[in-house]
Structure 1
Amino acid sequence: MPEAQNPARTTRAVNSAGPTAVAPPSSPGTGSLALRLAGVSGIAASVAWLIGDILLLGKPMGSADQYPILSSYDGMPRDSLAAMLPASTTRLAWGALLGVLTGPLYLVACRHFRRALLPQPRRISLPLYLILTAGYALAPFAHGSFFYWGQAAKAVHESGAASDALTTLPGDLATVLFIPYAVLLALWVVGSVWLAVLVLRGGTVFPRWMCIANPLVCALIGTLVTKLWPGAIGTALQGAALSVANLLLFSLTTWVLWKKADEESS
Structure 2
Amino acid sequence: MPSPGVRPPAREDRWSRIAGLCGVVASIAWLAGDILLLGKPMGTADRYPLLASYDGTARDSLAAMLPASTTRLAWGALLGVLTGPLYLVACRHLRQGLRPARRRLSLPPYLLLVTGFALAPFAHGSFYYWGQAAKAVHESGAGSGVLTGLPGDMATVLFIPYGVLLACWLAGSVWMAVCVLRGPTAYPRWMCAVNPLVCIPVGALLTRVVPGAAGVAVQGAALSVGNLLFFTLSTAVLWKRRE
Measured against the shorter chain, the TM-score band is: over 0.9
Counterpart contact for 1:62–1:83, Cα < 8 Å: yes
Match of 2:52 among 53, 63, 71: 71
Distance in 2 (alpha carbons) for counterparts of 1:208 and 1:240:
28
1:60 alignment partner, SS class? coil
- Is the counterpart of residue 85 in structure 1 residue 57 in structure 2? no
TM-score by length of 1: 0.87
Find the counterpart in structure 2 of residue 185 from structure 1: 166
Alignment of 1:105-184 (within 5 A): 105-184=86-165
**What's the C-alpha RMSD, in Å, of the aligned pairs?**
1.7
Moved over 3 A (4+): 21-31
Write the deviation string for residues 210-242 of structure 1: whole angstroms up to 9, x where unpaired.
Answer: 112211100010010011211111100000000
Deviates most, 23-32 or 83-92: 23-32
TM-score by length of 2: 0.95
Which consecutive unaligned segments of at least 5 residues does structure 1 have? 1-20
Structure 2: which amino acid aligns with 1:243? S
Distance change >3 Å, CA 117–CA 22, structure 1 → 2: closer
Structure 2: which amino acid aligns with 1:107? L
- Is the counterpart of residue 256 in structure 1 residue 229 in structure 2? no
Match of 2:176 among 176, 195, 206: 195
- Is the counterpart of residue 230 in structure 1 residue 207 in structure 2? no
Distance in 2 (alpha carbons) for counterparts of 1:175 and 1:192:
26
Distance change >3 Å, CA 137–CA 23, structure 1 → 2: closer
Deviation at 1:117, TM superposition (A): 1.3
Write the deviation string for residues 155-179 of structure 1: whole angstroms up to 9, x where unpaired.
Answer: 0000001111111110110001000
Counterpart contact for 1:222–1:244, Cα < 8 Å: yes
Find the counterpart in structure 1 of residue 37 from structure 2: 56
Write the deviation string for residues 166-222 of structure 1: whole angstroms up to 9, x where unpaired.
Answer: 111101100010000000000000000111112122311100111122111000100
Counterpart contact for 1:113–1:129, Cα < 8 Å: yes
2:242 alignment partner, SS class? helix
Write the deviation string for residues 59-113 of structure 1: whole angstroms up to 9, x where unpaired.
Answer: 0001000100000000111000000000000000000000000000000000121
Counterpart contact for 2:108–2:172, Cα < 8 Å: no
Identity %: 69
Distance change >3 Å, CA 55–CA 126, structure 1 → 2: same
Deviation at 1:141, TM superposition (A): 0.2
Larger CA Rg, structure 1 vs 2: 1
Distance change >3 Å, CA 79–CA 22, structure 1 → 2: closer
Deviation at 1:124, TM superposition (A): 2.1
Deviation at 1:23, TM superposition (A): 6.0
Aligned length: 242
- Is the counterpart of residue 244 in structure 1 residue 214 in structure 2? no
Write the deviation string for residues 232-255 of structure 1: whole angstroms up to 9, x where unpaired.
Answer: 111000000000011101101110
Distance change >3 Å, CA 65–CA 30, structure 1 → 2: farther
1:142 alignment partner, SS class? helix
